[in-house]
């Protein structure tokens, strides 16, 4: 059992788990992406889902990290600008009722924000993971998110540590729900 940090938005985490399970139960997929260190966390989270987190004797979970294809990332950055690296991929791979998870330590990564906006426009549920930030109607990361998970810290290293704890917890809960629901 993973011991979670005292996350500020526990209900947001539980809502995320529920929505991921529902998304996957109906044959849809997760699109996960992040900028900088959050890109590595997106890759790590998807590896836990497609590979295995705790239960090796299960089917792979349908998840795709949009950070992994360097040729696609650099071609889009070159041709359209770095701000579009995720929105183009969401448009290419996303379908209504899929789910997109965008990760940004600062909550100001324009490429992540645009990817989440594109997802919302395609009827894809969106989840954002950010650090502790002031949330008001002018917060750019707030608008495209169906669910927003914030950390208790505003320090980069602590935000990233909380994000990986949250993502591990989500992976474990999703894995268990999908495995036990089939028995």
pLDDT tens column, 25-83 = 999 999 999 999 999 999 999 999 999 888 787 899 999 999 999 999 999 999 999 99
Of the candidates 113, 67, 105, the one whose C-alpha atom is nearest the C-alpha of residue 87 is 113
Residue 171 has pLDDT above 60, yes or no: yes
pLDDT recorded at residue 4: 46
How much is the pTM?
0.91
Q: What distance lies between CA 140 and its chain's CA centroid? A: 17
Residue located via tokens 């809502």: 15
Domains of the chain: 13-127+139-178 (3.40.50.10490)
| Residues 123, 96 contacting (CB under 8 angstroms) | yes
Residue located via tokens 């996957």: 24
Mean pLDDT is lowest, of 60-74, 130-144, 169-183, for 130-144
Measure the CA–CA gap between 183 and 114, rounded to whole angstroms: 39
**pLDDT-based confidence at residue 9 (cuts at 50, 70, 90):** very low
What average pLDDT score do residues 77-100 get? 97
């Amino acid at each position: 059992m993973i011991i979670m940090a005292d996350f500020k938005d526990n209900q947001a985490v539980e809502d995320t788990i529920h929505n991921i399970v529902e998304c996957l139960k109906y044959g849809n997929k997760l699109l996960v992406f992040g900028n900088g260190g959050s890109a590595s966390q997106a890759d790590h989270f998807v590896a836990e889902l497609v590979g295995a987190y705790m239960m090796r004797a299960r089917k792979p979970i349908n998840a795709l990290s949009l950070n992994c294809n360097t040729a696609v990332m650099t071609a889009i950055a070159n041709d359209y600008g770095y701000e579009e690296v995720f929105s183009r991929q969401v448009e290419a791979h996303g379908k209504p009722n899929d789910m997109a998870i965008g990760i940004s330590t600062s909550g100001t990564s324009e490429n992540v924000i645009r990817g989440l906006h594109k997802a919302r426009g395609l009827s894809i549920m969106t989840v954002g993971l950010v650090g502790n930030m002031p949330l008001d109607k002018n917060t750019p990361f707030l608008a495209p998110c169906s669910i927003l998970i914030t950390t208790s810290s505003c320090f980069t290293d602590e935000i990233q540590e909380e994000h990986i704890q949250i993502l591990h917890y989500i992976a474990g809960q999703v894995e268990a729900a999908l495995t036990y629901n089939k028995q």
